[in-house]
Amino acid sequence: MQLLDGKKTSNDIKNEIAAEVTKMKQNNEKVPHLAAVIVGNDGASLTYVGSKVKACERVGFESTLIKMPSTTSEMELLKKIEELNQNDDIDGFIVQLPLPEQIDTQKVLMAIDPSKDVDGFHPENFGKMALDMTTFIPATPFGILELLERYDVQTAGKHTVVIGRSHIVGRPMSILMGRKGFPGNSTVTLTHSHTKNINQITTQADIIITALGVPNYLKAEMIKDDAVIIDVGITRVADDTTDKGYRITGDVDFENVSKKASFITPVPGGVGPMTIAMLLKNTLLAREQRKYKK
């Protein structure tokens, strides 16, 4: 069994991006600038956005954090998005989800300029991804592809089972694993809450990508020997033995599944760190595209 180490791989990617930024500075070029908008005080979101800002500092990007109160109206947020769309100094920006209930998330994502949509959530970018065109791939699926590529996990002709059909992970992964090229060229089954006999399907899978958010859902008896396991789930589970009072758990019963798998991502330290690294990579791509537009 080999661990797909997202922590190490994400550090490698950040070092590569930092080297690119150093070259840009030497050539007196503008360095990438990422902005993040957060509405309200959700603890997990604040932590996540904070780590994005730190990651920007580490690779030499400029970053702007825009905090808006939880009482912000949809109109106020849309006005802020339009400002960011028009601001030539900002190469890419994200609006941290979830948003307060008075705001229509779909309307907000649609308002973002697709050329600055480094989260890859805009329908224009999603459509380009589905058609194998160059675009921003959502950061978590992009990170999974990068892990598979860097560890040379063979995907061609393999049966990939995706568990979960969210717009952020499950559905894009099902499209990307079936595309031409590497990683890709696999036969994909997309499973979800209405799938019957899921155990029968997972035991036939060469590669399983699970993004359910149900702790320890995938058991050893649900996989075949030497399967590749990608665990996207991150759930806080109460645990009095830890200082924080909880521990982070994935969708996979790691202790038992890891004994049968050929490759597996740990939680934490697997897919999570890759997500931020690929957001930085998308911002670098956005900067390059903007440079050539002018």
- Which residues, given as ranges, of the chain have pLDDT below 70? 294
Which residue from 183, 276, 290, 194 is spatially nearest to 230, judged by alpha carbons? 183
- Is 247 annotated in a binding site? The answer is no
288 exposure class (CB count in 10 Å sphere: 0-12, 13-18, 19+)? middle
- pLDDT for the residue numbered 201: 98
- Is 181 annotated in a binding site? The answer is no
For 115-164, the three-class secondary structure string (H helix, E strand, C coil) is: HHECCCCCHHHHHHHHCCCCCCCCHHHHHHHHHHHHCCCCCCCCEEEEEC
pLDDT tens digit sequence for 197-224? 999 999 999 999 999 999 999 999 999 9
**Cα separation values, 63 from 59, 89, 214, Å:** 11, 11, 34
- pLDDT for the residue numbered 294: 60
**pTM score, two decimals?**
0.95
The whole-angstrom separation of Cα 41 and Cα 22 is 35
- Is 234 annotated in a binding site? The answer is yes
Residue 119 among the catalytic residues: yes
Which is catalytic among the residues 5, 14, 80, 96?
96
- pLDDT for the residue numbered 230: 98
Which is catalytic among the residues 5, 14, 52, 158?
52
Which residue from 212, 185, 189 is spatially nearest to 267, judged by alpha carbons? 212
- pLDDT for the residue numbered 19: 98
Whether residue 161 contacts residue 201, with contact meaning beta carbons closer than 8 Å, is answered with yes
Would you say how long the chain is, in residues? 294
The sign of the CA dihedral 74, 75, 78, 83 is negative
- pLDDT for the residue numbered 48: 87
Which residue from 186, 177, 182, 181 is spatially nearest to 204, judged by alpha carbons? 186
The sign of the CA dihedral 144, 145, 150, 153 is positive
Which is catalytic among the residues 5, 91, 117, 119?
119
Residue 104 among the catalytic residues: no
- Is 175 annotated in a binding site? The answer is no
Order across the sheet with 62-68: list the strands: 62-68, 33-39, 92-95
Residue 96 among the catalytic residues: yes
- pLDDT for the residue numbered 16: 98
The whole-angstrom separation of Cα 40 and Cα 226 is 44
The whole-angstrom separation of Cα 238 and Cα 133 is 43
Whether residue 223 contacts residue 203, with contact meaning beta carbons closer than 8 Å, is answered with yes
The whole-angstrom separation of Cα 3 and Cα 211 is 18
